[in-house]
């Protein structure tokens, strides 16, 4: 077997998604703990743990107790190389999450036992299903009072429209929580509320009538567990790995991430059943990981990974072949060759220079302004990978510079932060005023915070009410110029100099369409 084949089979790249506060980042931390990547796990919100999380490395994330950017972490576990993408749960940062899902081969969905399936989770799962991404569900916070497990399974099937198969089952919930029965390998895991580090107090049993059961569980709970498992086996189909890999069946696990409970069972099962790197569609053809020649795409750009060095990192997902340091690769959009002298692997904000990377790996590339989200990098072939979404902004604000002495820092900060793709920058043609467009209001606070703390620039916002931003295009240049004059006060240019109509109502778009039949109106920048 070739080295590349061995390395591909070792790789597992997945994203963790959920509604805010379901425990996604805390779960990431505990997975890193088992992977030996960290000694002590942090939690986003916890009185027991005084340590902040590895994946929430930005200052605003620490202050707000939420994730606002996707973080990438890699570690080794039982001979497998695992890459985790911890995504923001908040809807205002959904765009970052959607893009990240393009780089994941599978997904773990975290659901709060008390809240069940929430709106944001439904949206994210919908995106996964569009690509038939395999989904594992982890039902979290079993040590708190919550919904009946069977009710939760029904809710998951109905709201997320996925078939489920419980792989583990809780013994009690909240104050009665005693542990978890692992259906997959017939073992019992007993819960200790005072233990938050790695826990391994499981016993393997022959069946649910084994005498060892009586040691830690009372008779009533044993009877309930037997009835539950009997019902599960009669109602739910056996686990079928083909169905899981095609996205038609989702295994369900239970646990408490904060108390490091049920996490190892999740991780052990995950590396057995989850897919290694998958082929990927491009506009030309399907690209397979086992191909000799390297190819990959940029799915994320992060400005100021290290505020001390003002560096900007582009995140590259390796699709095929072996990525090599100091090797010249083709930047397809720019049609020029680029050499990468310092490619890095990540442990959140910590980086280490690597010599090679294999399909499934995420590589950090130092970016001086060459890259856009969706760019393809190859060994020479003109490939454009599909499926990197871009969204039309819904909210708009004018930028007001509150410190004229820092104009240069403000301009640089805005330019770099916009390259991350979280927000879009427009310049009004009539006044030259800068305008930021975002998908959600929280992004404005994040941009303002990062400008101040990372670039030393102060700004405020002025509201600008418009209905939609429409990119306009036409084969007739004269028509575009005529449109520009007609809508002089309502047109802007985006970062790449493309003309955008800032329509204040649906009616304004209709009038413009009727008057200028040669013009096409686009509601995303990808046209």
Of 86, 84, 106, the closest CA to residue 249 belongs to: 106
Of 138, 130, 119, the closest CA to residue 25 belongs to: 138
pLDDT score, position 310: 55
Where are the alpha helices (H) located in 342-441, listed in sequence order?
Answer: 407-419
Residue 1 burial (10 A CB sphere; 0-12, 13-18, 19+): exposed
Computed over its alpha carbons, how large is the radius of gyration of the chain?
Answer: 25
Q: Which residues pair with 297 in a beta bridge?
A: 317, 376
Mean pLDDT computed over 429-438: 88
Mean predicted lDDT score pLDDT of the chain: 81
What would the pLDDT profile of 335-344 be if each residue is shown by its tens digit?
999 998 888 8
Provide the token pair at 92.
């205002």
- For the entire predicted model, the pTM comes to 0.75
Provide the token pair at 364.
């950090």
pLDDT score, position 303: 64
For helices 24-34 and 263-273, the axis angle rounded to 10 degrees is 80
Max mean pLDDT range (64-73, 120-129, 381-390)? 120-129
Question: CA-to-CA distance for 483 and 492, rounded, in angstroms?
Answer: 12
Mean pLDDT computed over 151-158: 93
| Helix, strand, coil percentages in the chain from 3-state DSSP, rounded to 5 | 30, 30, 40
Tell me the domains of the chain and their CATH numbers.
Answer: 3-68+103-273 (3.40.50.300), 280-378 (3.40.50.300), 395-522 (3.30.70.3280)
Question: CA-to-CA distance for 270 and 83, rounded, in angstroms?
Answer: 12
Element (H, E) at 227: helix 219-235
Question: CA-to-CA distance for 398 and 400, rounded, in angstroms?
Answer: 6
Question: CA-to-CA distance for 265 and 139, rounded, in angstroms?
Answer: 13
Mean pLDDT computed over 396-415: 89
Residue 448 has φ and ψ, to the nearest 5°, of -60, -45
Q: Which residues, at least 6 apart from 93, have a Cβ–Cβ distance to it below 8 Å?
A: 67, 68, 69, 422, 440, 442, 443
pLDDT score, position 371: 84
Max mean pLDDT range (54-63, 108-117, 430-439)? 108-117
What would the pLDDT profile of 12-33 be if each residue is shown by its tens digit?
998 888 877 788 778 888 888 8
β-pair type (491-494, 499-503): antiparallel
Q: Is the pLDDT of residue 134 over 90?
A: yes
pLDDT band at 91 (very low <50, low <70, confident <90, very high): low
Q: Are 410 and 451 a contacting pair, CB within 8 Å? A: yes
Question: CA-to-CA distance for 361 and 13, rounded, in angstroms?
Answer: 7
Question: CA-to-CA distance for 25 and 511, rounded, in angstroms?
Answer: 48
Question: CA-to-CA distance for 273 and 134, rounded, in angstroms?
Answer: 10
Tokens 């088992």 identify what position? Answer: 34
pLDDT score, position 67: 40
Q: In the chain, what is the greatest distance between 2 CA atoms, to the nearest angstrom?
A: 86
Tokens 């001979």 identify what position? Answer: 79
Residue 140 has φ and ψ, to the nearest 5°, of -105, 165
Distances (CA, A) of 325 to 111, 273, 282, 341, 498: 40, 32, 24, 6, 35
Tokens 């027991």 identify what position? Answer: 48
Q: Is the pLDDT of residue 253 over 90?
A: yes
Task: Give how far the C-alpha of residue 326 lies from the chain's centroid of Cα atoms, to the nearest Å.
Answer: 29
Distances (CA, A) of 420 to 69, 88, 314, 446: 10, 14, 9, 13
What would the pLDDT profile of 304-343 be if each residue is shown by its tens digit?
555 555 567 888 999 999 999 989 999 998 899 999 888 8
Tell me which of 143 and 351 has the higher pLDDT. Answer: 143
Provide the token pair at 256.
């408490």
pLDDT score, position 147: 92
Q: Are 327 and 320 a contacting pair, CB within 8 Å? A: no
Of 279, 348, 358, 363, the closest CA to residue 314 belongs to: 363
pLDDT score, position 139: 93
């Amino acid at each position: 077997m070739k080295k590349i084949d061995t390395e591909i089979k070792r790789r597992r790249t997945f994203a963790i998604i959920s509604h805010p506060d379901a425990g996604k980042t805390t779960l990431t931390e505990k997975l890193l703990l088992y992977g030996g990547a960290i000694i002590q796990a942090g939690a986003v919100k916890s009185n027991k743990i005084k340590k902040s999380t590895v994946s929430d490395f930005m200052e605003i994330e620490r202050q707000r107790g939420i994730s606002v950017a996707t973080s990438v972490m890699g570690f080794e576990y039982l001979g497998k190389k695992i890459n985790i993408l911890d995504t923001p749960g908040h809807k205002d940062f959904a765009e970052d999450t959607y893009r990240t899902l393009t780089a994941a081969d599978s997904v773990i969905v975290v659901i709060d036992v008390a809240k069940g399936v929430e709106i944001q989770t439904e949206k994210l799962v919908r995106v996964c299903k569009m690509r038939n991404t395999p989904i594992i569900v982890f039902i979290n916070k079993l040590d708190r009072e919550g919904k009946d497990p069977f009710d939760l399974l029904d809710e998951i099937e109905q709201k997320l429209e996925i078939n489920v198969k419980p792989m583990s089952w809780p013994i009690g919930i909240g104050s009665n929580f005693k542990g978890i029965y692992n259906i997959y390998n017939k073992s019992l895991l007993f819960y200790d509320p005072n233990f938050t580090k790695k826990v391994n107090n499981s016993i393997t049993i022959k069946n649910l009538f084994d005498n060892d059961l009586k040691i830690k569980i009372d008779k009533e709970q044993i009877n309930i567990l037997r009835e539950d498992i009997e019902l599960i086996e009669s109602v739910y189909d056996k686990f079928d790995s083909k169905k899981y890999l095609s996205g038609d069946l989702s295994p369900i696990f239970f646990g408490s991430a904060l108390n490091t409970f049920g996490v190892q069972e999740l991780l052990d099962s995950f590396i057995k059943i989850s897919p290694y790197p998958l082929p990927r569609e491009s506009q030309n053809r399907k690209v397979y990981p086992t191909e000799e020649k390297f190819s990959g795409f940029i799915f994320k750009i992060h400005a100021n990974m290290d505020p001390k060095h003002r560096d900007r990192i582009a995140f590259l997902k390796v699709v095929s072949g072996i990525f090599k340091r100091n090797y010249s690769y083709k930047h397809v959009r720019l049609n020029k060759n680029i050499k990468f002298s310092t490619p890095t692997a990540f442990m959140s904000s910590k980086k280490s220079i690597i010599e090679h990377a294999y399909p499934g790996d995420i590589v950090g590339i130092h970016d001086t302004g060459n890259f856009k989200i969706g760019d393809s990098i190859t060994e020479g072939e003109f490939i454009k990978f599909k499926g990197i979404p871009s969204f039309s902004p819904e909210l708009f604000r004018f930028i007001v510079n509150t410190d004229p002495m820092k104009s240069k820092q403000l301009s640089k900060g805005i330019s770099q932060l916009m390259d991350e793709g979280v927000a879009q920058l427009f310049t009004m043609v009539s006044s030259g005023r800068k305008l930021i467009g975002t998908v959600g209001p929280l992004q404005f606070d994040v941009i303002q915070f990062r400008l101040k703390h990372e670039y030393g620039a102060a700004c405020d916002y002025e509201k600008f009410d418009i209905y939609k931003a429409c990119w306009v295009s036409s084969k007739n240049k004269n028509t575009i110029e005529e449109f520009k004059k007609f809508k002089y006060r309502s047109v802007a240019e985006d970062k790449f100099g493309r003309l955008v109509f800032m329509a204040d109502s649906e009616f304004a778009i209709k009038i413009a369409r009727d008057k200028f039949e040669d013009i096409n109106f686009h509601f995303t920048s990808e046209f």
